[in-house]
Structure 1
Amino acid sequence: MSIVKIVEQALKDGYLTSAMEAEVGRICNAASELSIEEYMALDRLMGALLTGEVVVLPRKQFINVMEELVLAEAIAKVAEIEATSEQNLDVGDIAAYALNRLPPLYATTEEGANFQRARAKEELQEFISKQVKEAIAQSLNKPEFFPERQALGTSSKEEVISQVSNLLQAYAPEFEPQNDQGTSSS
């Protein structure tokens, strides 16, 4: 969709969705130069946003708490294996395999995320561990059909670890690993 059509749609509907906003941004970033019509449309949109004729729909922030729980479990198990053997495992493959076999636990508030974490630890921890173990076993037993394959958006193991770390920081800023007694390590 073009900028002009997006602006026309926003003016007609009275709102700008996050998808429309993202598409305008993508077009602007990709174009070396915008046309006069595109500049005029953007000017019209800016005016409509300033007057309230068009409103930006709020983005609903949400997380899948299951992702952070699976990642934490996978990272711990993979670290144990890699520390005691010559095996190199892909945390992303293991997490994806396990997540595809576990229920999602979405939350839109910190309170909801805490509730989902507590519920998962009480009701699903054994299932999470089982699925991660199964994912590791699957990973260890699979032949390397395509050794040249490259993980999405990465080119090195360090980048994967960095991405996992960034995901955990973004989705679980208050997450603290539990020590052996089950109490927080604060």
Structure 2
Amino acid sequence: MSIEKIVEQALQDGYLTPVMEAEVGRICDNASELSIEEYMALDRMMGALLTGEVVAVPRKQFINVMEELVLTETIARIAEIEATSERTLDVGDIAAYALNRLPPLYATTEEGASWQRQRAKIELQELIDQQVSEAISRNLDRPNDGKTPMLGKGTGNEVLRQVSTLLQTYAHSFEQKVQG
């Protein structure tokens, strides 16, 4: 999307979302020089923001207390396991697995977050422990032999090559299941 279209959308909606703001930033970072139209659009946006015609939506207006609780539990459990074994566990994978199986607990203020934390410790701590345990168990059961292909970081072409390799690796199994 162009800067002009983003500004037009923001003026129409009355809001500049974090996604719109990031896209304008990306365009500006990647452009060696902006056009006069782009500068004019940015000037219109600045004026609209200053007058209140357009409101910039903050990046995060809420807190998911469940994320905090799951991360705290995950890190504590992983530290125990890694201290007594040679295994290295992925905090992100484990927390994501557990979070996908737990209810979110959103709050918009610190008081609301405190209330959600207390409620979760009383009503949901057992479920949190259970889901983190299940996530760790699944992570430990995953082969760590270097044969399991994983996507790494890299350029667009490198990621494309990795995705192609993954597809080639699993396509044979998929074709057998479909035909069989």
**What TM-score do the two structures reach when normalised by structure 1?**
0.72
Q: Which residue number in structure 2 is paired with residue 164 of structure 1?
A: none
Matched letter for residue 45 of structure 1: M
The Cα of 1:36 is off from its aligned counterpart by 1.2
The residue number in structure 1 matching 2:139 is 139
Matched, 1:112 2:112: yes
Query: What does residue range 1-186 of structure 1 map to in structure 2 within 5 Å?
Result: 1-52=1-52, 54-59=53-58, 61-144=61-144, 145-146=147-148, 148-150=150-152
Q: 1:35 to 1:74 in 2, by over 3 A?
A: same
Retained in 1: the 8 A contact 2:16–2:57? Answer: no
Letter of the 2:106 counterpart: Y
Larger radius of gyration: 2
Residue 14 of structure 1 deviates from its aligned partner by 4.2
| Percent of paired sites with the same residue | 75
> Structure 2: 5+ residue runs without aligned partners?
154-180
Alpha carbons 2:15, 2:57 under 8 Å: kept: no
Separation in structure 2 between the aligned mates of residue 140 and residue 27 of structure 1, nearest angstrom: 42
Q: 1:90 to 1:50 in 2, by over 3 A?
A: closer
Cα RMSD, aligned residues only: 2.1
Structure 1 unaligned residues grouped into runs of 5+: 152-186
- Distance between the aligned counterparts of 1:121 and 1:108, measured in 2? 19
Evaluate the alpha carbon distance shift between residue 8 and residue 90 of structure 1 in structure 2; reply closer, same or farther with a 3 A threshold: closer
- Indicate the structure with greater helix content: 2
Residue deviations 1:84-111 (CA, integer Å, cap 9, x gap): 1112111111111111111111111101
Q: With the length of structure 2 as denominator, give the TM-score of the two structures.
A: 0.74
